[in-house]
């Protein structure tokens, strides 16, 4: 579960770095398997089609990966919500959901604290280990880590 948390942190950091650099957020799939890590962006003028394509790719590729995380863009234009749904192929399959609200204020990116939906069995030390892994994942994208640190509200 810690590796899934780390991948989720990396994916959100990557998205924050892209947004801070002027890119529009799009559904993005992150996969990790025997051949390493892969990112696939689903840019399409039709957001509904982009989300459908991203979810289809997740279903097709999950069986050949160790873990996957899918970034979706929800909410409205004034207060968008990023949702990352992740899964790790293990016995049993483990799932994680992280949500993050962000906004622009006078051209400055502002992030709220992310919200985590861990499995009910992940409490105490296991939960803390996952949160530490998430934070480590944030640092794996240098531009994203810098933008994250500057934008996070405290």
- The set of residues, in sequence order, having a beta carbon less than 8 Å from that of 62 and lying 6+ positions away, is 31, 68, 87, 89
Single pTM value for the model: 0.90
Break the chain into its structural domains and give their ranges.
2-151
Q: Which helix (H) or strand (E) holds 69?
A: strand 67-75
| pLDDT (0 to 100) of residue 137 | 95
**125: region left, alpha or beta (phi > 0 left; psi from -120 to 50 alpha):** alpha
Tokens 């049993």 appear where? 92
Euclidean distance between CA atoms 105 and 26, whole angstroms: 20
Whether 91 shows a pLDDT value over 70: the answer reads no
| pLDDT (0 to 100) of residue 44 | 87
Q: Model confidence over 106-139: pLDDT tens digits?
A: 878 888 889 999 888 778 898 899 999 999 999 9
Whether 154 shows a pLDDT value over 60: the answer reads no
Per mean pLDDT, which of 39-53, 80-94, 127-141 is the most reliable? 127-141
């Amino acid at each position: 579960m810690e590796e899934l948390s780390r991948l989720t942190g990396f994916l959100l950091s990557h998205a924050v770095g892209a947004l801070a650099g002027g890119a529009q957020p799009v559904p993005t799939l992150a996969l990790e398997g025997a051949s390493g890590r892969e990112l696939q962006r689903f840019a399409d003028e039709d957001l509904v089609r982009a989300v459908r394509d991203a979810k289809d790719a997740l279903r097709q590729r999950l069986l050949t990966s160790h873990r996957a995380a899918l970034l979706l863009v929800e909410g409205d234009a004034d207060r968008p919500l990023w949702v990352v749904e992740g899964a790790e192929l293990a016995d049993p399959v483990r799932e994680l959901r992280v949500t993050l609200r962000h906004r622009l204020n006078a051209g400055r990116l502002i992030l709220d604290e992310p919200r985590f939906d861990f499995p009910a069995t992940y409490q105490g030390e296991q939960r803390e280990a996952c949160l530490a892994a998430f934070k480590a994942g944030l640092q794996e994208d240098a531009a994203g880590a810098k933008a994250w640190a500057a934008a996070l509200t405290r």
